[in-house]
Amino acid sequence: MEAADLFCHPLWFICSLALLALLWVQRRKSWRPDTCPVDLTGKTAIVTGASSGIGKAVALDLARRNARTILACRCREKGQAAVEEIRRATGNPQVQLGLLDVSSMASVRAFARRFLEKGSQLHILVNNAGVSGLPFAVTAEGLELTFATNVSGAFLLTHLLLGTMVASAPARIVNVSSFRHFCVRKVDLKLLTGEERTKNASQAYDCTKLMNVIFTTELARRLQGTGKHMAACAVQKWYSASSD
């Protein structure tokens, strides 16, 4: 059957209608930020990868709710542009830029050190920064690039800031994952160093998203019963435009 005949097939038409109906219902039921009255005055939030895409949208919403919002970005120019745009849109002067390359553990440690030296509380950490489609590469620190960016950086940053977040409780940790974690069933820790290699960049991304879910699940378990109002959750995204 040729492509033109396939698109004219009645089954294609029925499936298209069903998909449109599903999307319409989902949109009707979807949650919208403007329906949530939460005010975050006095709260501090860090969002990684916040110069574009999901991270920027999250930072914008947090700033609109009056949180002191730190955009942790790799690129100074793009990050500062996002900061200024969010300040103009929200009128919140407490939107700030912090330089952070989550693929570099040295950068993660330096970012955390600068933040902790200020003695600030931290109530919200959104580990959003991530990459996909990168060719196999090992960083100077001996970590495979995709896994360093999507897994190791977020893990280390959370570890370094967790004590402050517990002291600042109630607090929330949000790790951005993906529905594609369902595409793999298990992962080998040797993937983190490149000792073992995935078949392709797509599989590497899928494995990192499963690691995000496993990390978040275990973190949430350890936070339970501590007597602190702490929570960790993994957000499953579908597709979005992002470049940080």
Catalytic positions, written as ranges: 205
* Residue at token pair 């000792």: 195
Note whether 62 and 69 are within 8 A (CB).
yes
Provide the β-strand partners of residue 71. Answer: 47, 97
**Are 180 and 205 contacting, i.e. CB atoms less than 8 angstroms apart?**
yes
Instruction: State the DSSP H helix or E strand holding residue 182, giving kind and residue range, or none if neither.
Output: none
The number of beta carbons lying within 10 Å of the beta carbon of residue 233 is 13
Tell me which residue of 200, 214, 55 sits closest to 132, measured CA to CA.
200
Report which residue type is found at 198: T
- Other beta carbons within 10 Å of 169: 16
**Contact residues for 219 (Cβ-Cβ < 8 A; gap 6+):** 158, 173, 232
